Amino acid sequence: MKLGCIGDDFTGSSDLANTLAKEGMRVTQYTGIPDGDADPSVEAGVVALKSRSIDPGDAVAKSLEALDWLRAQGCTQFFFKYCSTFDSTPEGNIGPVADALAEALDAHQVIVCPAFPGTGRSVYQGHLFVNDVLLSESGMQNHPLTPMTDPDLRRWLALQTRYAVGHVGSGAVFAGAAAIRQALATEQEAGKRHIVVDAIRDEDLRAIGAAAKELPLITGGSGVALGLPVNFGCVAGDVPWTGQSGKAVALSGSCSIATRAQVAYHAARHPAREVAAADVIEGRLTAAEATAWALSQDGVPLVYSSADPDVVREVQAQFGREQSAGALEGFFADVARAVRAGGATRIITAGGETSGAVVEGLGLDTLEIGPEIDPGVPALRAGPDLVVALKSGNFGAEDFFEKADRVLSV
């Protein structure tokens, strides 16, 4: 294994694996830290953790354990993957994990770049944009677990890390890899360890990848990984895939603007059942009932709890944030297990926490990377007769659920 990757959630990890596979690397995604060694043919291993919203100390411990396993597989470079909207709180978990990995690898020029132009994420003058608006105006300020209220990555990361945060601006990035390397060195000499790097185009990401060839640690969204495979001699090509026939079910727990639009589009054309968090918490709706409904429907039935942010706030005020989130995650994990037991062979999920719950509920440990459904979202084979799609909340076109089922079944 050449490139070792640690993802802080399951959807983001599949996003990263998708990027690397398209650029020619032989990639395997692992759910959690494997017990044994990897297949020797794997060039990039992506260890997917569910560490984005847990206690920072636990996130650090899990990430270091993943690092140890990847080092044992022979990796020479490491990538810490977090969301392209930099999902975190002032306490972490991006900063604490980046600190711990940098210390373990003796890394002193740690690139911080969540940019992903293919999905509208760009970094300019150290600020993160989603399409044409600042992160703090994109809807992410309403995220129920990691509300993003400051688009300045330098300020937000500085709240989380023990080290000074630097910046490589667009001027150096546009000038190419050599200029980026020099700018990184200048920031290190100034005492900056974590260095936010601007990027607004795929060409920028490839230049950053070239500049990072000798660096032990890179951090960011999947976009910045675009330029890494070529450093290992890989050439982009088609990703092999065989689809899966059978029953499809879609599950959505994301409250993002993009997912709510996808839910509305799908519900107007396919069977859809809304799940109110209060009904789950107070026992008025069970996973068994939702499962029976989904398995009785034709097409691609959708079970969703993608509520308006005001509704989410009301539920959190009534039941508490952790109880609300935990109840829904447990519900979707139970539904996923039950629909699988009932014969579902294609399962589509929306939302990072929901996807993580579904992956854990199904007990998936190794995922084969297939073709891209939408930017950042690949088809995944989880077993001989099971394929899945794990979508981050803000990713995907309006007809994502329909498109995902088409790709998964071909």
Q: How many other CB atoms sit within 10 Å of the CB of residue 41?
A: 8
For the stretch 110-161, pLDDT in tens is 999 999 999 999 999 999 999 999 999 999 999 888 999 999 999 999 999 9
Which pTM does this prediction carry?
0.87
Domains in the chain, CATH or no CATH each? 3-232 (3.40.50.10840), 247-409 (3.40.980.20)
For the stretch 208-241, pLDDT in tens is 999 999 999 999 999 999 999 999 999 998 888 9
Does residue 280 have a pLDDT over 90?
A: yes
Please give the share of the chain, as a percent, with pLDDT higher than 70.
100
User: Rounded to whole angstroms, how far apart are CA atoms 231 and 209?
Assistant: 8
For the stretch 297-325, pLDDT in tens is 999 999 999 778 788 788 888 998 788 88
For the stretch 49-98, pLDDT in tens is 999 999 999 999 999 999 999 999 999 999 999 999 999 999 999 999 99
> What's residue 39's pLDDT?
93
For the stretch 3-33, pLDDT in tens is 999 999 999 999 999 999 999 999 999 999 9
> What's residue 309's pLDDT?
79
At how many degrees (to 10) do helices 321-341 and 309-319 cross? Answer: 110
Does residue 242 have a pLDDT over 90?
A: yes
CA 229 → CA 29, 72, 224, 261, 374, distances in Å? 16, 20, 11, 34, 21
For the stretch 156-197, pLDDT in tens is 999 999 999 999 999 999 999 999 999 999 999 999 999 999
> What's residue 376's pLDDT?
87
Phi-psi region of 361 (alpha: psi -120 to 50; beta: other; left: phi over 0): alpha
Does residue 353 have a pLDDT over 90?
A: no
